[in-house]
């Protein structure tokens, strides 16, 4: 008898973890699933991991990036590129501000950044600038934020209007340096075409490769859970037969009170195109931005007479359709 069940794969297994690089294996994957899972996990890891980046930078005596500072070897563009090479861990979802203030001949590194308790510098040896004179001074203020993927500075400028002297930076939030995967066949029972998936993940040190893999699996599971099942098409409610006496009573109540209550709740929500209007009338009402029966019932006859394309016959047709549902135009 043919086995109709698909065997579940093994849990991820750690092959090696050295610094910011990890190698992991998943075995026992159904034939073809190795490529499916490998490609999906790789794309999620590269695109969907939360990281930290500098979004705004303010350097004293530098109003824009195309300038230089006295006593500083690097120009502002080079300094900005060096800032972008710094990796941070941010414990808060709120933006954090860090500062640098250095005087005298010295090499300024990421370790000189003054951070609060919410910020940690990962690569403190990263060079930022070189001060070449004793009287040289370097002061900067940087804004750190958490995010996903890559956000160009044009987008950030729309949501963070800069003050004078503030430089908006392109933000590459991803903490992942590279991800690759390999798929090879393996034996499961009598079959030799099952897959073994090997993932190699390298990060910038702000997250571990182990946590990046776990998070990517979690994201994939949540995405698949969200699309389980098909949305049932909305079926029109079954028509309810109402005794003639009840209809007469409702109509009489409408005449006295000026309000139709019993039958119009659903009808008033009906879109114009779903009513029994001729195409000419429906088109004229759409052109007047009248979308529903409720919107139509709030119009006076004088209002309708001003709509191009209706005319007396069109107004008469509207009254007949509304009347069949015990609804009248506004007095």
Q: What is the pLDDT of residues 160-183, one digit of tens each?
A: 766 788 999 999 999 999 999 999
pLDDT value of position 266: 65
> Is the domain of 181 the same as that of 42?
yes
Mean pLDDT (the chain, rounded): 86
Count the domains in the chain.
3
pLDDT in tens, 288-320: 878 788 888 888 888 888 887 788 888 888 888
> Is the domain of 185 the same as that of 220?
yes
pLDDT value of position 21: 96
> Is the domain of 180 the same as that of 191?
yes
pLDDT at 285 over 80: yes
Question: Sign of the C-alpha dihedral, residues 127, 128, 133, 139?
Answer: negative
Taking CB atoms within 8 Å and a gap of at least 24, the contacts of 242-251 are 247/326, 250/326, 251/326
92: left (phi over 0), alpha (psi -120 to 50) or beta: beta
pLDDT at 7 over 90: no
Judge contact between 143 and 95, C-beta under 8 A: yes
244 pLDDT tier (thresholds 50, 70, 90): low
132 to 26, 100, 174: CA distances (angstroms): 53, 17, 34
Q: Which domain holds residue 143?
A: 51-150
Residue 137 falls inside a structural domain: yes
Residue 74 falls inside a structural domain: yes
Judge contact between 271 and 236, C-beta under 8 A: no
Residue 181 falls inside a structural domain: yes
Q: Which residue has the higher pLDDT, 293 or 80?
A: 80
pLDDT value of position 1: 64
Q: d(Cα 273, Cα 277) in Å, to the nearest integer?
A: 8
pLDDT at 264 over 70: no
pLDDT in tens, 86-109: 999 998 889 999 999 999 999 999
pLDDT in tens, 15-64: 999 999 999 999 999 999 999 999 999 999 999 999 999 999 999 999 88
Looking at the chain, list the stretches that DSSP marks H as alpha helix, in order from N- to C-terminal side. Answer: 33-48, 76-84, 153-159, 209-226, 244-257, 264-267, 279-287, 293-297, 301-305, 311-323
Token pair of 137 as six digits: 């001074």
> Is the domain of 80 the same as that of 125?
yes
Question: Residue 144: how many CB atoms within 10 A of its CB?
Answer: 24
> Is the domain of 44 the same as that of 57?
no
pLDDT value of position 86: 96
pLDDT value of position 321: 85
271 pLDDT tier (thresholds 50, 70, 90): confident
pLDDT at 209 over 70: yes
pLDDT at 240 over 80: no
Looking at 164-278, list the stretches that DSSP marks H as alpha helix, in order from N- to C-terminal side. Answer: 209-226, 244-257, 264-267
Nearest to 308 by CA among 286, 277, 275, 291: 286
Q: d(Cα 133, Cα 72) in Å, to the nearest integer?
A: 8
> Is the domain of 37 the same as that of 63?
no
Question: Sign of the C-alpha dihedral, residues 285, 287, 290, 292?
Answer: positive
Residues counted in the chain: 331
**DSSP H/E element including 98:** strand 96-103
Tell me the CATH number at 32: 3.30.1360.10
Q: How far apart are the first and last CA of the chain?
A: 77
> Is the domain of 61 the same as that of 104?
yes
Q: Which of 61-75, 211-225, 226-240 has the lowest mean pLDDT?
A: 226-240
Share of the chain above pLDDT 70, in %: 88
DSSP state of 173: -
Token pair of 79 as six digits: 């300094």
> Is the domain of 45 the same as that of 71?
no
pLDDT at 214 over 70: yes
> Is the domain of 185 the same as that of 270?
no
DSSP state of 199: E
pLDDT at 262 over 50: no
Residue 296 falls inside a structural domain: yes
pLDDT in tens, 116-143: 889 999 999 999 999 999 889 999 999 9
Judge contact between 281 and 244, C-beta under 8 A: no
Mean per-residue pLDDT, 269-288: 80
Q: Which residues pair with 322 in a beta bridge?
A: none
Could you give phi then psi for residue 126, rounded to 5 degrees? Answer: -65, 125
Could you give phi then psi for residue 79, rounded to 5 degrees? Answer: -65, -40
Q: Which residue has the higher pLDDT, 325 or 20?
A: 20
232 pLDDT tier (thresholds 50, 70, 90): low
Q: d(Cα 310, Cα 303) in Å, to the nearest integer?
A: 11
């Amino acid at each position: 008898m043919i086995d109709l069940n698909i065997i579940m794969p093994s849990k991820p297994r750690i092959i090696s973890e050295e610094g910011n690089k990890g190698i992991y294996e998943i075995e026992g994957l159904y034939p073809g699933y190795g490529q499916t899972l490998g490609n999906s996990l790789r794309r999620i890891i590269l695109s969907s991991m939360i990281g930290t980046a500098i979004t705004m930078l303010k350097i004293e005596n530098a109003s824009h990036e195309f300038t230089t500072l006295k006593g500083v070897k690097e120009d502002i563009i080079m300094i900005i590129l060096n800032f972008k090479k710094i990796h941070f861990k941010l414990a808060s979802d709120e933006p954090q501000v860090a500062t640098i203030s250095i005087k005298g001949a010295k090499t300024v590194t990421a370790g000189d950044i003054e951070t609060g308790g919410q910020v940690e510098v990962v690569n403190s040896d990263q060079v930022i600038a070189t001060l070449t004179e004793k009287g040289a001074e370097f002061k900067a203020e940087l804004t750190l934020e958490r995010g996903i993927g890559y956000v160009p500075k044009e987008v950030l400028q729309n949501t963070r209007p800069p003050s004078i002297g503030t430089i908006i930076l392109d933000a590459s939030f991803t903490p992942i340096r590279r991800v690759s995967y390999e798929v090879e066949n393996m034996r499961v029972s009598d079959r030799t075409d099952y897959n073994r998936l090997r993932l190699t993940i390298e990060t910038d040190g702000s997250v571990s490769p182990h946590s990046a893999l776990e998070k990517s699996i979690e994201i994939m599971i949540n995405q698949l859970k969200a699309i389980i099942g098909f949305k049932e098409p909305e079926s029109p409610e079954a028509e309810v037969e109402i005794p003639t006496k009840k209809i007469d009573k409702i109509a009489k109540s409408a005449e006295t009170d000026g309000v139709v209550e019993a039958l119009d709740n659903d009808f008033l929500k009906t879109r114009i195109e779903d009513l029994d209007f001729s195409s000419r009338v429906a088109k004229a009402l759409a052109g007047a931005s009248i979308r529903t029966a409720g919107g139509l019932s709030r119009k006076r006859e004088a209002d309708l007479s001003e709509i191009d394309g209706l005319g007396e016959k069109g107004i008469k047709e509207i009254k007949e359709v509304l009347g069949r549902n015990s609804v009248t135009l506004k007095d």
